[in-house]
């Protein structure tokens, strides 16, 4: 090696040692890290609380309602990429044969959107991840103004949080019957099979990126919980208007959220309503 080349190599080596590039600490963590709120099980007899676990998310499927009771997922930069939205709605073949499988056509001409719970943009690292979000087991009927305006605004806010260095644990679902879609009339079901929820809810646990997430949750951990009406007037207010406590959603749904967190911390953070000013 020539002397000039040797000097350059030595200089670069010293420079790199003194200027270590920051590492991306993002990881793909357990979608059920915060708990299984309805104690769903993967047994055929649990037809209205059937547990389905995928790489991309976990859910409790309700065959009588033709929709998930809830969907739970982890979100960090490790789940993000540049895969295109596939728009490939399809039935979930992992649902047992004795349970009703919702089809994409069940929503046609109903006035309601096929509303993602785990969003497409939360799973765009690759085509396989994105495709999973278009399974009908991840959908509930949502009014267009909820799905396309107010609900998506919260989804966008969540992705801004991970861009800023946080990781999130999110769980979402609906409750009740009776929503108002584009027809302007109250609908309790569509296709005579699928329940139209009266309200849609979401719970977001926010942590700085790191490891041992359950152990890092304390009384100061920020939790966002929302309860939004499933109608065309929902967009009269921004998403933050609909913030509630986790306790309120538990009282309505009967679920036990965040049940892997130590009881004393769980009780504290579930009783607080997020008050952070949203720009």
**pTM metric for this prediction:** 0.91
Average pLDDT over residues 223-251: 98
268 is catalytic: no
Catalytic member of 74, 116, 145, 199 = 116
Which pLDDT score is estimated for 16? 39
Which pLDDT score is estimated for 22? 38
Task: Give the residue numbers spanning the domain of 187.
Answer: 25-270
Q: CATH no. for residue 238?
A: 3.40.570.10
Which pLDDT score is estimated for 25? 65
Which pLDDT score is estimated for 44? 85
User: Is-contact 186 176, C-beta < 8 A?
Assistant: no
CA distance 100 to 194: 10
Above 80 in pLDDT, residue 51? yes
Which pLDDT score is estimated for 26? 81
Residue 228 lies in a domain: yes
CA distance 63 to 241: 32
CA distance 112 to 197: 11
Average pLDDT over residues 46-67: 97
Residue 134 lies in a domain: yes
CA distance 150 to 202: 12
Which pLDDT score is estimated for 5? 47
Which pLDDT score is estimated for 181? 98
Residue 117 lies in a domain: yes
Which pLDDT score is estimated for 172? 99
Angstrom distances, CA of residue 257 to CA of 29, 33, 40, 201, 211:
18, 11, 13, 12, 21
| Average pLDDT of the chain to the nearest whole number | 92
Please name the residue that has the structure tokens 């605004």: 153
How many domains would you assign to the chain?
1
**CB-based contacts of 246: which residues, under 8 Å, 6+ apart?**
203, 223, 225, 257, 258, 269, 270, 271
**CB atoms inside a 10 Å sphere around CB 250:** 17
Dihedral sign (CA 146, 53, 104, 70): negative
Residue 278 lies in a domain: no
């Amino acid at each position: 090696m020539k002397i000039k080349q040797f000097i350059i190599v030595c200089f670069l080596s010293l420079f790199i040692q003194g200027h270590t590039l920051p590492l991306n600490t993002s990881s793909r963590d357990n979608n059920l890290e915060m708990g299984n709120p309805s104690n769903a099980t993967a047994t055929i007899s649990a037809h209205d609380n059937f547990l389905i676990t995928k790489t991309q998310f976990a859910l409790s499927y309700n065959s009588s309602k033709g929709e998930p009771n809830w969907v739970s997922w982890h979100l960090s930069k490790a789940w993000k990429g540049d895969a295109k939205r596939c728009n490939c709605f399809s039935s979930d073949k992992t649902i047992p044969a004795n349970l009703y499988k919702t089809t994409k056509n069940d929503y046609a001409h109903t006035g309601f959107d096929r509303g993602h719970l785990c969003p497409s943009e939360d799973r765009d690292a690759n085509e396989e991840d994105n495709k999973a979000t278009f399974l009908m087991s991840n959908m509930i009927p949502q009014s267009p103004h909820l799905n396309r305006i107010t609900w998506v605004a919260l989804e966008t806010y969540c992705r801004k949080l991970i861009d800023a260095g946080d990781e999130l644990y999110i769980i979402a679902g609906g409750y009740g019957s009776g929503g108002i879609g584009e027809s302007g009339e109250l609908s309790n079901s569509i296709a005579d099979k699928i329940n139209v929820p009266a309200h849609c809810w979401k719970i977001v646990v926010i942590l700085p990126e790191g490891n041992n997430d359950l152990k890092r949750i304390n009384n100061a951990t920020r939790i966002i919980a929302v309860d939004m009406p499933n109608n065309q007037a929902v967009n009269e207010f921004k998403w933050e208007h609909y913030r509630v406590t986790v306790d309120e959603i538990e009282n309505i749904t009967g679920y036990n959220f965040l049940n892997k967190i130590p009881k004393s911390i769980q009780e504290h953070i579930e009783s607080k309503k997020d008050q952070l000013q949203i720009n």
